[in-house]
Structure 1
Amino acid sequence: MRLTKALADAVQMAAQRAVEQRASAWFLASVTAVNSGGTVDISTARGPVLAVRRLKSYSAPAVGDVIKVSRNADGNWVVDGALA
């Protein structure tokens, strides 16, 4: 019985991860580095993300800024802008 429950739990967790990875979402993050070419490195609750493209309206990024970022279902990220 234990093996059956463990297998069922493992399948459920794998399915949940797959759905979460394919879902679009937005996050709060902080800027850890400002790169040339319109990208920033960020730190999210899920870990670091390197070279995220920023919108032109976020024209003066600085290390330590708290920002809103979006991720689409394909795993692409974009910085929407800084919080006040």
Structure 2
Amino acid sequence: MTARQRLSEAIQRAASRAVQQESSGWLIATVTATYTDGTVDISTARGPVSRVRRLKSYTPAVNDRVQVDYNPDGNWIVIGALASS
């Protein structure tokens, strides 16, 4: 592999990481703790996230599998629990 090819691949990897970090998205997470202020702690494939707001219509329980949405500003929200199988 030439130096030019290595540089090209490094630029592509960096651009891909930047796009992922600057985009909104959603993940599946597991509730690890619940609080009375309307927040929960979750564990995601990206790592743990503390004190995430939840929708009023959803009452979480530890170990619930949930859908979470996030945006580039670092805001997270728990949408609700997934059906158990």
- Please tell me the TM-score bracket, short chain as reference: 0.7 to 0.9
Percent identity of paired positions between Structure 1 and Structure 2 = 60
- C-alpha RMSD over aligned residues: 1.4
- Per the normalisation by structure 1, the TM-score is 0.87
1:2 and 1:52 mapped to 2: Cα distance? 46
Q: Name the SS of the counterpart of 1:61 in structure 2.
A: coil
Which 4+ runs in 1 deviate beyond 4 A? none
Extract unaligned runs of 5+ from structure 1: none
Match of 1:48 in 2: 48
Over residues 18-77 of structure 1, what are the superposed CA-to-partner deviations in whole Å (9 max), with x where a residue is unaligned? 11111111111110111231111111112111111111011x211100001001232211
Instruction: Tell me the TM-score normalized by structure 2.
Output: 0.86
SS at match of 1:15: helix
Secondary structure of the residue that 2:57 maps to in structure 1? coil
Counterpart residue identity of residue 37, structure 1: D
**Structure-2 residue corresponding to 1:73:** 72
Local SS of the residue matching 1:48: strand
Aligned length: 83
